[in-house]
Amino acid sequence: MLTPHIALVEDEVVLREELVFQLTHLGFTVEGFENAGQLYRRLAVCRFAVVVLDIGLSGEDGLSICRHLREHDKNQGIVFVTARALRDDRLLGLHAGADAYLSKPVDIDELALVLRRLAERGESATPVVADSRQPTNWLLDERNDSICAPGDKRIRLTANEVRLLRVLLTKAGEVVVSRELAMALGLLPDEYDKHRVEVIISRLRDKVLRESGFVLPIVSIRGVGYRFQVG
């Protein structure tokens, strides 16, 4: 098995550095983050086998991060390491989508065991996109206002869907900020509406899945924008 790549989100500097040090010593590759924003920016270019979260973070809390991660990746390993040790807190964390809930002060050997098991599960899990042709076989046909999915299945597009896909496919593999997508819709900077972009992409995903059976590989990078996944 490859060395498990772990993200650790903890806003207490001393504890974060200590956990990074101990887990690295136990054979993990660990990156520490102070808050949700730092984690999301890193997730735009990197996938982690497991994300370890505190709940009481400054800004967006761990429960919200957990829900977001689980919504976008059913196989993502997620572990809470938190001072909130009450039964109701643990149930709330597990209900949010966490795979495990450990209380501080955490037993480092127990945490390591949980991380290895989740990393092994991730290696053996079937990807959401099962057809290996999917990420590279999407072709935008602007002349006929359609997109061709793997298997030559064509899906008709609205004018706004064409505009968004033109930008995302031109920059496939790169993160495109929401403001740029809004401008592609013809919105002026002072008319910027992030929600409008979200609605169009959400409806487009649903339509493509319904009509082709394939998941359109547009990845949401929370707080930043979107990426058309390739490779």
Residues 12 and 114 grouped into a single domain: yes
Burial of 103 from C-beta contacts in 10 A (0-12 / 13-18 / 19+): middle
CATH at 29? 3.40.50.2300
Distance between CA atoms of residues 163 and 140, nearest Å: 10
Residues 215 and 115 grouped into a single domain: no
Q: What is the pTM of this model?
A: 0.57
Burial of 116 from C-beta contacts in 10 A (0-12 / 13-18 / 19+): middle
Burial of 149 from C-beta contacts in 10 A (0-12 / 13-18 / 19+): buried
Residues 94 and 22 grouped into a single domain: yes
Find all residues with CB under 8 Å of 57, minimum gap 6, and list them.
9, 10, 11, 35, 36, 65
Residue 70 belongs to a domain: yes
- pLDDT digit string, tens, across residues 184-224: 888 766 665 667 888 888 889 888 888 888 888 898 887 78
- pLDDT digit string, tens, across residues 30-69: 999 999 999 988 887 788 999 999 999 999 999 999 999 9
- If one counts the domains in the chain, the total is 2
Domain boundary among 124, 149, 166: 124
Residues 203 and 112 grouped into a single domain: no
The residue segments making up the domain with residue 139 are 134-228
